[in-house]
């Protein structure tokens, strides 16, 4: 991979953010709303990519981090009446704490065992949500009241149910996380993570504490996923156990694989692609998941490193 | 029912369908996405568009299929009788995958892309609860056919209604007098350890207590369980009635293992047919249910005293005397619930006519007109039976059927009264702003 000049990389990412901002004014209403949701879920994918793409740890349990944010923020509003910023912070804290605990335990394993352990922890988390149905709403979930989803900034009150406010909130979160992942990917720490992915033994021999580096990556990854979950609860008004099910652990993996693992913009492209393939094909057939499956197979065959990963490999080596 | 991609009004563009299709085919990528197609403003003769949030895939698919058939039959009948306010009804279907996240997106799609007049037809509770915020924010009237208590709990919002099927709290309450008087006074409940089961766990004990009976044990079975024998020793020996509401594919194993546990001498069994909707009551392993009783919203099997309206409804929907699809005895319907689709659409028709509904700008009027409804008389529009409607909690109340499994069919042995299922309202949606 060629070394990108920082200016070029940052210009590209700022360009993407400006493009998303501009799209807010031209997109038809439906696609405007859908893109807001996609940006929030792309943050989930970016969090996943942090661990899977850069450290090479394949987790099948990231739904628990997303749900930790979702429930952390949602339940703080519903049961404690917290404000939007406080609830969002609660979501982040829940995700970070959970990631720390899970990281300490799960990082004792690697490879297939890591997949299984993370999946089992996520299953435990899912069943805990069902068990405490009196507070979590169990499998039916809970509605975050519309009246509580208001962001108060000084004298201004912004209703998060307003499509423009929602889009811009999603964009702000997406932009921050995108720039943070870019900064991490380009930092010394990011290079250590990639070194661990490529050859952990050699990285250890070079004097790096790979366990604490991996643990930090799990916490950053979990916190970003929790940010996505917290934003989802506050922007879209629903918390439910479906988001903690194994399906939502596999989805970010697919989004990242599609877009390109260890690329900063890949998670957005993967999420966007999957959403629109499902949205368009489900308009024509109820067998849309079959089409999604075929699309995935074709992508794996012809774009084995994902869309952006393959583009980087073949044409644009400087892509971060 | 229309082709879901036929939602745009070709008649107003001067295009033939063929030309339009050619034009669409020429487009590339996103340009073919329905949202990018411009269409003209709805005119007075333009169809009333109903967005049907259907469980075509996912765990609710068996219900979704029959909800679609019932909806198609009701829309056909409504259109043949002149439509709503003289306008034809057009149904646009979107699959929600029985997923609350996708459900909310689908409601958004109906509101902002298809620009439907209402959204309708959702069954599974988690999808209803997940979609309700999107409906409230879009100020989109959302008529569900879910039987969950979530609408009547007044925890959703002013735009969500359930006028075509009773809620589970009402159903459970209405069962209690019959159970206490006919089946037994000491009841053990077996239910799945998630929300559907919790409704039964929470509402049955007080209802039975009011009838002089009691729940002596409650056995919650985790949703991941596939074998049940180890739970049966927890059933107290003095149990007179086992009240079971297991759902999902495990129900066949549950019944079979219960049969092996008890052999020929067993307590009375009472269940909710939800467990066996779309399942042949004569399936191998279900023999143990012979002589047991079930709640049914609307009877699956044709009954000797069926009204003319009930007969006409069954013929229109296409189910035979055994409650299976005409011509395919293996395709068993979800008869106990799907009548709610038929009745809900007629409630929508009545409310739109009362409101003088012309288009999306009249949605608030439609909400108020629906809230003003109080009674639905039994007849072709309400073949399941008469109902009352409480506009404050957006919920209807009606009769329930108790059926006995006899000779491989379900025979109705008791019909409850509307009053049996009434309870104190838990809130008032009409105080919320529109």
| pLDDT, tens digit, 9 for 90 and up, residues B266-281 | 899 999 998 888 889 8
For chain A, say whether B51 makes contact (Cβ under 8 Å): no
Range from A63-77, A145-159, A248-262 carrying the lowest mean pLDDT: A145-159
Q: Is A137 left (phi over 0), alpha (psi -120 to 50) or beta?
A: left
Q: How far is B19 from chain A (nearest CA, A)?
A: 19
Nearest to A283 among B5, B30, B99 (CB): B5
Q: What is the pLDDT of residue B178?
A: 95
| pLDDT, tens digit, 9 for 90 and up, residues A41-55 | 999 999 999 999 999
Q: What is the pLDDT of residue A241?
A: 93
- Where are the domains positioned within chain A? 13-246
For residues A260 and A309, what is the distance between their CA atoms, to the nearest angstrom? Answer: 4
Q: What is the pLDDT of residue A3?
A: 55
| pLDDT, tens digit, 9 for 90 and up, residues B116-132 | 999 998 999 899 999 99
The CA-to-CA distance between both ends of chain A, in Å, stands at 9
Asked if the model's pLDDT at residue B13 lies above 60, the reply is no
| pLDDT, tens digit, 9 for 90 and up, residues B210-220 | 999 999 999 99
For chain A, say whether B59 makes contact (Cβ under 8 Å): no
Per DSSP bridges, beta strands B142-143 and B160-161 are parallel
CB < 8 Å to A236, chain B? 104, 133-134
Asked if the model's pLDDT at residue B28 lies above 70, the reply is no
pLDDT band for B298, please (50, 70, 90 cuts). very high
Nearest to A143 among B56, B112, B156 (CB): B156
Q: Which residues pair with B375 in a beta bridge?
A: B388
Nearest to A238 among B129, B148, B193 (CB): B129
pLDDT band for B263, please (50, 70, 90 cuts). confident
Check: CB of residue A43 under 8 Å from CB of residue A50.
no
For chain B, say whether A285 makes contact (Cβ under 8 Å): no
Q: What is the pLDDT of residue B44?
A: 67
Query: Which residue in this structure is represented by tokens 């929790």?
Result: A226
Q: What is the pLDDT of residue B19?
A: 41
CB < 8 Å to B195, chain A? 133, 137-140
Q: What is the pLDDT of residue B239?
A: 95
How confident is the model over B325-349, as a mean pLDDT?
95
| pLDDT, tens digit, 9 for 90 and up, residues B410-434 | 999 999 999 999 999 999 999 999 9
Q: Is the ipTM of this complex over 0.90?
A: no
Contact call for A238 and B133, based on CB within 8 A: yes
Q: What percentage of chain A reaches a pLDDT higher than 70?
A: 99
Coil, strand, or helix at residue B19? Answer: helix
Check: CB of residue B121 under 8 Å from CB of residue B144.
yes
Q: What is the pLDDT of residue B36?
A: 40
Rg (CA), chain A: 19
Contact call for B126 and A282, based on CB within 8 A: no
CB atoms within 10 A of CB A201: 9
Check: CB of residue B261 under 8 Å from CB of residue B284.
no
| pLDDT, tens digit, 9 for 90 and up, residues B177-206 | 999 999 999 999 999 887 778 889 999 999
For residues B193 and B221, what is the distance between their CA atoms, to the nearest angstrom? Answer: 5
CB < 8 Å to A143, chain B? 129, 132-133, 155-157
Q: What is the pLDDT of residue B29?
A: 39
- Is B42-166+338-398 a CATH 3.40.50.10420 domain? no
For residues A273 and A298, what is the distance between their CA atoms, to the nearest angstrom? Answer: 14
Among candidates A242, A217, A218, A216, which has minimal Cα distance to A229?
A242
Asked if the model's pLDDT at residue B12 lies above 60, the reply is no
Top-confidence residue, B62 or A78: A78
Q: What is the pLDDT of residue A6?
A: 80
Q: What is the pLDDT of residue A85?
A: 95
Q: What is the pLDDT of residue B93?
A: 93
Q: What is the pLDDT of residue A126?
A: 95
For residues A313 and A311, what is the distance between their CA atoms, to the nearest angstrom? Answer: 5
Strands (E), chain A: 142-143, 150-153, 156-159, 238-239
Question: Tokens for B276?
Answer: 């066996």
Check: CB of residue B165 under 8 Å from CB of residue B146.
yes
Strands (E), B96-244: 118-120, 142-143, 160-161, 186-192, 214-221, 241-244
Check: CB of residue A51 under 8 Å from CB of residue A109.
no
Check: CB of residue B254 under 8 Å from CB of residue B282.
no
The CA-to-CA distance between both ends of chain B, in Å, stands at 31
Rounded to 5 degrees, φ, ψ at A152 are: -100, 120
Q: How far is B71 from chain A (nearest CA, A)?
A: 17
pLDDT band for B248, please (50, 70, 90 cuts). low
For chain B, say whether A128 makes contact (Cβ under 8 Å): no
pLDDT band for B10, please (50, 70, 90 cuts). very low
Mean confidence (pLDDT) of chain B? 88
Per DSSP bridges, beta strands B328-332 and B324-325 are antiparallel
Q: Which of residues 207-246 of B touch A (CB under 8 A)?
A: 222-224
Element (H, E) at A85: helix A84-106
Q: What is the pLDDT of residue B41?
A: 44
Element (H, E) at A3: none
CA A101 to chain centre: 19
Nearest to B104 among A130, A236, A283 (CB): A236
> Fold for domain B168-296+399-421?
Rossmann fold (3.40.50)
| pLDDT, tens digit, 9 for 90 and up, residues B34-57 | 444 434 444 568 999 999 999 998
∠ CA A160-A162-A166 to the nearest 5 degrees?
Answer: 55
Nearest to B57 among A33, A140, A286 (CB): A286
For residues A311 and A8, what is the distance between their CA atoms, to the nearest angstrom? Answer: 16
Are B42-166+338-398 and B168-296+399-421 in the same CATH fold? yes
Q: How far is A117 from chain B (nearest CA, A)?
A: 18
Residue B262: partners with Cβ closer than 8 Å, 6 or more residues away: B288
Q: What is the pLDDT of residue B423?
A: 95
pLDDT band for B3, please (50, 70, 90 cuts). very low
Rounded to 5 degrees, φ, ψ at A176 are: -60, -50
């Amino acid at each position: 991979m060629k070394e990108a000049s920082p200016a070029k990389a940052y210009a590209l990412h700022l360009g993407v953010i400006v493009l998303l901002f501009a799209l807010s004014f031209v997109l038809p209403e439906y696609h405007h709303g859908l893109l807001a949701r996609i940006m929030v879920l792309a943050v989930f994918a970016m969090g996943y990519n942090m661990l899977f793409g850069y450290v090479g740890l394949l987790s099948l349990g990231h739904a628990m981090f997303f749900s930790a944010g979702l429930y952390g923020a949602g339940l703080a509003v519903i049961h404690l009446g917290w404000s939007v910023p406080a609830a969002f912070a609660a979501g982040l804290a829940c995700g970070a704490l959970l990631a720390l605990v899970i990281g300490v335990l799960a990082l004792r394993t690697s490879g297939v065992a890591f997949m299984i352990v993370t999946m089992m922890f996520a299953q435990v988390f899912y069943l805990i949500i069902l068990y405490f149905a009196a507070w979590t709403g169990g499998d039916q979930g809970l509605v975050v009241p519309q009246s509580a989803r208001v962001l108060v900034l000084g004298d201004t009150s912004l209703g998060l149910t307003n499509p423009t406010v929602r889009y811009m909130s999603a964009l702000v979160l997406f932009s921050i996380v995108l720039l943070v992942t870019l900064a991490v990917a380009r930092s010394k720490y990011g290079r250590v993570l990639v070194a661990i992915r490529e050859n952990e033994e050699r990285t250890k021999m070079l004097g790096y504490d790979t366990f604490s580096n991996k643990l930090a990556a799990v916490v950053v990854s979990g916190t970003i996923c929790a940010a996505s979950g917290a934003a989802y609860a506050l922007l879209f008004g629903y918390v439910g156990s479906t988001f903690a099910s194994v399906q939502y652990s596999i989805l970010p993996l697919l989004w990242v694989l599609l877009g390109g693992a260890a690329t900063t913009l890949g998670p957005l492209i993967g999420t966007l692609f999957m959403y629109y393939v499902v949205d368009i094909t489900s308009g024509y057939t109820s067998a849309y998941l079959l089409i999604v499956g075929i699309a995935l197979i074709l992508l794996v065959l012809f774009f084995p490193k994902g869309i952006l990963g393959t583009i980087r490999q073949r044409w644009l080596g400087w892509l971060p | 029912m229309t082709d879901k991609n036929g939602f745009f009004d070709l008649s107003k563009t001067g295009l033939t369908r063929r030309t339009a299709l050619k034009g669409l085919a020429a487009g590339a990528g996103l340009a073919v996405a329905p949202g990018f197609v411009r269409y003209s403003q709805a005119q007075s003769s333009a169809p009333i568009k109903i967005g049907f949030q259907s469980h075509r895939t996912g765990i609710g698919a068996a219900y979704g299929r029959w909800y679609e058939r019932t909806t198609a039959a009701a829309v056909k009948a409504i259109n043949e009788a002149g439509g709503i306010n003289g306008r034809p009804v057009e149904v646009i279907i979107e699959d929600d995958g029985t997923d609350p996240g996708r459900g909310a997106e689908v409601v958004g799609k109906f509101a902002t892309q298809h620009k439907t007049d209402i959204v309708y037809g959702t069954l599974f509770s988690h999808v209803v609860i997940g979609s309700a915020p999107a409906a409230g924010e879009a100020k989109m009237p959302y008529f569900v056919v879910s039987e969950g208590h979530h609408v009547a709990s007044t925890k959703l919002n002013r735009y969500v209604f359930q006028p075509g099927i009773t809620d589970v709290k009402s159903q459970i309450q209405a069962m209690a007098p019959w159970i206490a008087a006919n089946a037994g006074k000491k009841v053990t409940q077996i239910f799945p350890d998630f929300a559907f089961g919790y409704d039964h766990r929470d509402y049955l004990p007080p209802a039975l207590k009011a009838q002089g009976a009691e729940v002596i044990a409650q056995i919650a079975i985790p949703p991941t369980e596939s074998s049940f024998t180890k739970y049966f020793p927890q059933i107290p020996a003095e149990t007179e009635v086992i009240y079971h509401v297991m759902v999902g594919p495990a129900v066949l194993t549950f019944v079979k293992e219960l049969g092996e546990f008890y052999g020929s001498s067993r307590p009375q069994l009472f269940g909710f047919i939800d467990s066996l909707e779309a399942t042949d009551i004569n399936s191998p392993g279900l023999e143990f249910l012979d002589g047991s009783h079930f709640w049914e919203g609307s009877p699956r099997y044709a009954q000797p005293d069926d009204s003319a309206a009930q007969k006409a409804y069954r013929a229109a929907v296409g189910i035979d005397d055994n409650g299976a699809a005409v011509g395919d005895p293996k395709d068993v319907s979800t008869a106990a619930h799907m009548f709610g689709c038929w009745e809900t659409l007629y409630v929508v028709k009545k409310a739109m006519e009362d409101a003088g509904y012309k288009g999306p700008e009249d949605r608030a009027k439609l909400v108020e007109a629906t809230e003003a409804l109080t009674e639905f008389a039994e007849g072709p529009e309400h073949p399941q039976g008469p109902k009352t409607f409480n506009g404050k909690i957006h919920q209807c109340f009606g009769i329930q059927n108790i059926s006995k499994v006899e000779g491989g069919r379900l025979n109705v042995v008791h019909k409850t009264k509307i009053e049996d299922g009434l309870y104190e309202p838990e809130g008032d949606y009409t105080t919320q702003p529109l």
